[in-house]
Structure 1
Amino acid sequence: MFNLRDGNNPDLRRRVLTGEISPEKLITLSAEEMASDKRKQENNQIKEKALFDCERGLAAKASTDQFKCGRCGQRKCTYYQMQTRSADEPMTTYVTCVNCDNHWKFC
């Protein structure tokens, strides 16, 4: 009931009124399924960041100006390397921009 009345979630109300979601199905939806499209996108970003942080663990970081951030164009970055594939292939380098916190990786 609260989710249907929420002003920040007009998508759910619209889907119920148009019949896209039946009332019978509405009562079985999880909180994630009832979230607005904007909230779903925010949740996915949070999950991706948590996964990225989990993958890299507590690996040592080094600062460098060797990499250029594609988002802000700055060269202040930290990076670390991890062996993610077989031993005869090169290590994967994970880079984080100090300025805008943009993350990327390359092999």
Structure 2
Amino acid sequence: MALLKEVESLRDHLKSISQAQKYDNPEVLNQVLDDFESLLRIDFTPDIINSTKIILTLAPYKTKPKNADIKKKAVDVFNYIIEKKKANAQHTPKRSESEEQFDIEKFAKNFTEVLKKGPEAESAKIKPSQLAKEIVEKISQKDNPKRLYAFLINCLNDPIKNEKFRLKERLLNGELSPADFASMTEDDLTTDEMKEKINQMRQENMDKAMVPKPPEAVSAFFRCRKCKSNRVTFFQLQTRSADEPMTNFCTCLECGNEWREY
């Protein structure tokens, strides 16, 4: 995750410079070379290369700058990333069929452990191990069973959901069948209070989206005073007299720090 964020920060900085066509500004050139050196120290994986699209960001630097050092270094970084991608592709082992399969035995064991916990198990009419096996068998017949398994076992472990919906109690006394439990959705297991909070948050977000504000842009020329990142958005407003420079309102995309620059 840290590597991904680092590459994203470097990518956004390089992209903002290329979009602003500031290739030949001496100060910016040094920043670009520093970014290239940082990229050459990163152990790239195919996932990072594909998700960040860093290769596309490098493309303009191979041809557009007048500075020969920038062009050469851009080619070096480009080739380095391509070689990393090829090397990872050759050494990535294929997953076996057993790894791809839904592990009924393992997941049934996990459900059994959860169902045995708590006072509900003391008065159970159905044996937890048998109930767990039936639940997992029903889950295995659904689309995306691994995700459904994770959702349902988390619900059983959630004290709030158990108190509200009596999941363990209803399963262990036969009131709730394994088939019905395996068919439950997030909406089925969301309390009215939580639904109200979600609706309030959605309404607040809609209200915020309707408030007009000046357009923001990512800048290569602002650096966060707190974390030193170059992933900074800004917009300008005239906060002083008309003959004074406009005020830049800056926000760091890494740490959320906000500040003004005049």
TM-score bucket of the superposed structures, by smaller chain: 0.3 to 0.5
- The alignment's TM-score, normalised by the length of structure 1, stands at 0.45
Q: For the pair shown, which has the larger CA radius of gyration, 1 or 2?
A: 2
